[in-house]
Copies of this chain bind each other. A is one copy, B any other.
């Protein structure tokens, strides 16, 4: 089959709790939504071939490449780096070799980051990559970053995250001028720590200063106060998982309420149109697909425990980024931003 790398996604066929079955089933679902997409799947061909043969859409739009190793879910990144023929490594290599425009994996996050950084390198002007994802809010979807790659961040890191998040929100959420907020424990200017105050001052002076709302608090995430919530990886990871946990709690309790008796069941049936839409809208699978921003290539991480529907949503994110030429756009945006920032430099030099 003739392939142009612009619509080719490299796939780690063996990553995730229920790989390779969920990976192939997810790609089959995604293939329907992305009629031009093609997939380059790496892994154990003895297991992948029969799965692929059974698909309807996918079999004509996917190529298999054998990779003999698998990066385990609990494997340390340093160990994963030594596996030369892992499905994850080979899929990332395909982006470096320009055989694919991006890569997706449901495997080990730490290994995916370490391998992506070593193979693809960080974008010029970026000190550290960040992980971004989309969360639901009262005013539509919200971008959050960083979600765990950078436990400690300096002001420059936060400013870079804001820049990358702004471009991500433009391309993936389709917002012309997304608003940005720095996550803090109060909205007043003096709140938080020195890193946050320095980052806020730099953002106000930056080319995206007009879009910078200022500090936001935890409750502003679900309220949709801003389109992009910027924070360090520790806080972002805790916030995202806390929010997910709270939504899951209410979902579980609602299920219990509506199955508590015949009256409640009848009530559910009467209101089920709206309840179903609400459940679908808050479905964590719809928000699957975290993106490693700041690398020379599109790298998308699917949740390891998701199902085919969830994996397909992560493929959606990857295809959105590929078809919008995300990496080119982000490099342009960063260059413009960096020129402006270097002119009025409150951040010092990067330590990358």
B-contacting residues of A (Cβ < 8 Å)?
74, 136-138, 148, 151-152, 183, 185, 188, 192-193, 217-223, 231, 233-235, 237-254, 256-258, 260, 263-264, 266-275, 277-278, 281-282
Contact = CB atoms under 8 A, between A and B. Distances in A.
Given A185-B233, A278-B253, A245 B245 contact: no
A60 B37 CA distance: 77
B264 A273 contact: yes
**Best-buried of A185, A245, A260 by chain B (most CB within 10 Å):** A245
A247 B245 contact: no
A303 to B, nearest CB: 12
Main SS at interface, chain A: helix
Nearest to A135: B246
B218 A249 contact: no
Copies of this chain in its oligomeric complex: 2
A263 B237 CA distance: 40
Nearest to A251: B250
A263 B254 contact: no
B222 A238 contact: no
B218 A245 contact: yes
25 contacts: A138-B249, A138-B253, A151-B185, A185-B237, A217-B237, A219-B241, A221-B245, A222-B242, A234-B235, A235-B235, A243-B243, A244-B246, A246-B246, A250-B251, A253-B278, A253-B281, A256-B274, A257-B274, A257-B275, A260-B274, A264-B274, A266-B267, A266-B270, A267-B267, A268-B271
